[in-house]
């Protein structure tokens, strides 16, 4: 996610933090590098200009230039201004005074609207709501079948009518079904088009004027960059959007749409799609996204993901072991498997401060290959070796390498990483966090 942006902004800020004192010339050069990074990332020029003007105005303040750590002050300013561009505060869904709350999803074909409707329903269901999905896309072949199958997989009811061509009529009839089921939220999956046209907008206006949804959310593909901003502007001028859902953000190496869309259109981003799983929909937090872009991690999102995937009993057991410094390689393997269940390892690592800047080859190949190699090495050890890795001498390492189909250097690397992890957890449990976590993992 945003790989190019993270790398280039990180380089510019590193050059500033490496200087003991900053001059106006230093700041201008740093901002020039950031400007190039933002424009290459397809960020809208208006957003770039506003952002850089704000950063420069604040950076030239005497309190910053005369500070003992001017570079860190600049990073703080950049972080705050990035957060401001992204929307400052998270914006939650509007709710109706009297249930059900109607959420109308709109968007072009290929944006992921139907799968997002199911993800949103699953998200709301997990938070205690009772959602009803409505298959109102009668134009796209198999759209009704798709949402029916996906809804069934998540045990979420879907209202369908195969013999009715009018989306407005389908939506009206769905409200009767919602009343029967006592649904608290109704999510309308409306028709999409390959491009915006008058027929599409008329249909959406008719649905909106008939049902008066509390939310009209545009689902837009983050990977189309500036076009996402243009699409949002067109929809907003026609049907008055209340929010945006950016999909495929995990595949967006540039980040132009995420950084531009709120500033240019004024419409808040409410959710982001971060993968294919039904759980891969997150509430959009501007401050957390700014931290990720600056390579500072996103520990709050990581904690929330962990809570969703770890049972309370597992967490307590692990916490006790960490406090007593009794972690063994069985625990290490177990935690790696849990991390894998939270999504791609590269995404999870982006949330850990410092880890987002790992080189592309840090995992020595594919994530799947990395996980399999680690598992093979640990399972080739005896139970005693897994519980007490300190006894693994040279001859044992050769045996483990042969048994796992790896090389001795792979075994050495794993044991070294585990040793560093134990040092880190011991320091953390004593309240002594290392100043440079990455230096411990080398």
Better-scored residue on pLDDT, 222 or 117: 117
For 3, 46, 189, the CA distances from 142, given in Å and listed in that order, are 35, 40, 13
How many angstroms separate the CA atoms of 356 and 210, rounded? 47
pTM over 0.85: no
Q: Please tell me the CATH superfamily of domain 3-86, with its number.
A: SRP54, nucleotide-binding domain (1.20.120.140)
pLDDT (tens digit, 9 = 90+) per residue, 25-54? 988 999 999 999 999 988 999 999 999 999
Interacting residues of 410 by C-beta distance below 8 A, sequence separation 6+? 373, 377, 401, 404
- What is the torsion angle, in degrees rounded to the nearest 10, for the CA atoms of residue 279, residue 122, residue 228 and residue 242? -140
Percent residues over pLDDT 70 in the chain? 80
- Provide the pLDDT for residue 292: 77
- Provide the pLDDT for residue 149: 96
Architecture of domain 101-287: 3-Layer(aba) Sandwich (3.40)
Closest C-alpha among 288, 294, 113, 136 to residue 211: 136
pLDDT (tens digit, 9 = 90+) per residue, 389-437? 999 999 999 999 999 999 999 999 889 888 877 776 666 555 544 444 3
Name, of 62-71, 249-258, 315-324, the range with top average pLDDT.
249-258
Q: Where are the domains of the chain?
A: 3-86, 101-287, 299-440
How many angstroms separate the CA atoms of 122 and 156, rounded? 8
- Provide the pLDDT for residue 397: 95
Better-scored residue on pLDDT, 252 or 172: 172
User: Where do runs of H (alpha helix) occur along 159-285?
Assistant: 167-181, 198-211, 226-239, 256-265
Bridge partners, residue 217, by sequence:
105, 243
Q: Of 65-69, 105-109, 256-260, give the lowest mean pLDDT range.
A: 65-69
pLDDT (tens digit, 9 = 90+) per residue, 333-352? 877 776 666 556 655 655 55
Whether the pLDDT of residue 376 is over 80: the answer is yes
E-only strand ranges, 215-366: 215-221, 243-247, 269-273, 281-283
Query: Cβ(279)–Cβ(309) under 8 Å?
Result: no
Query: Cβ(345)–Cβ(355) under 8 Å?
Result: no
Burial label for 391, CB within 10 Å (0-12, 13-18, 19+), is: exposed
pLDDT (tens digit, 9 = 90+) per residue, 234-268? 999 999 999 999 998 888 777 888 899 999 999 99
How many angstroms separate the CA atoms of 102 and 186, rounded? 5
Average per-residue pLDDT for the chain: 83
How many angstroms separate the CA atoms of 283 and 380, rounded? 42
Q: Of 141-145, 155-159, 382-386, give the lowest mean pLDDT range.
A: 141-145
Burial label for 112, CB within 10 Å (0-12, 13-18, 19+), is: buried
- Provide the pLDDT for residue 271: 96
How many angstroms separate the CA atoms of 404 and 377, rounded? 5
pLDDT (tens digit, 9 = 90+) per residue, 266-319? 999 999 998 888 888 999 999 888 887 876 654 455 555 555 555 555 656 666
Whether the pLDDT of residue 369 is over 60: the answer is yes
Interacting residues of 352 by C-beta distance below 8 A, sequence separation 6+? 297, 299, 302, 437
Architecture of domain 299-440: Orthogonal Bundle (1.10)
């Amino acid at each position: 996610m945003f790989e190019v942006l993270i790398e280039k902004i990180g380089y510019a800020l590193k050059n500033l933090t490496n200087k003991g004192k900053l001059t106006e010339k230093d700041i201008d050069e740093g901002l020039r590098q950031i400007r190039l990074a933002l424009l290459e990332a397809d960020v809208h020029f208006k957003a770039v200009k506003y952002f850089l003007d704000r950063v420069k105005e604040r950076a030239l303040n005497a309190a910053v230039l005369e500070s003992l750590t001017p570079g860190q002050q600049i990073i703080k300013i950049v972080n705050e201004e990035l957060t401001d561009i992204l929307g400052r505060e998270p914006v939650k869904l509007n709710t109706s005074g009297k249930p059900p709350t109607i959420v109308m999803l709109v968007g072009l074909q290929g944006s992921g609207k139907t799968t997002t409707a199911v993800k949103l329903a699953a998200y709301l269901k997990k938070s205690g709501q009772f959602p009803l999905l409505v298959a109102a896309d009668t134009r796209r072949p198999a759209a009704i079948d798709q949402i029916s199958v996906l809804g069934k997989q998540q045990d979420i009811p879907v209202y369908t009518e195969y013999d009715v061509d009018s989306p407005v009529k389908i939506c009206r009839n769905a409200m009767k079904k919602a009343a029967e089921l006592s649904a608290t939220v109704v999510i309308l999956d409306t028709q999409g088009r390959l491009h915006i046209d008058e027929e599409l907008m008329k249909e959406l206006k008719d649905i909106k004027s008939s049902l008066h949804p509390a939310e009209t959310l545009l689902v837009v593909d983050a990977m189309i960059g500036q076009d996402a901003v243009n699409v949002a502007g067109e929809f907003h001028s026609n049907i008055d959007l209340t929010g945006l859902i950016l999909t495929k953000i995990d595949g967006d190496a540039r980040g132009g749409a995420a950084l531009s869309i709120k500033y240019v259109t004024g419409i808040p981003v409410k959710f982001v799609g971060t993968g294919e799983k039904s759980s891969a929909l997150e509430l959009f937090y501007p401050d957390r996204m700014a931290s990720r872009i600056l390579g500072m991690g996103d520990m709050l999102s990581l904690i929330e993901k962990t809570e969703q995937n770890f049972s309370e009993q597992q967490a307590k057991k692990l916490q006790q072991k960490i406090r007593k410094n009794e972690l063994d390689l069985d625990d290490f393997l177990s935690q790696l498997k849990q991390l894998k269940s939270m999504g791609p390892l590269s995404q999870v690592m982006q949330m850990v401060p410092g880890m987002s800047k790992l080189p592309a080859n840090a995992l020595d190949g594919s994530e799947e290959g990395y996980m399999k190699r680690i598992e093979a090495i640990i399972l080739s050890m005896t139970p005693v070796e897994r519980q007490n890795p300190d006894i693994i001498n040279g001859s044992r390492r050769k045996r483990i390498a042969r048994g796992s189909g790896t090389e001795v250097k792979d075994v050495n690397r794993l044991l070294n990483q585990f040793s560093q992890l134990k040092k880190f957890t011991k320091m953390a449990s004593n309240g002594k966090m290392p100043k440079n976590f990455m230096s411990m993992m080398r």
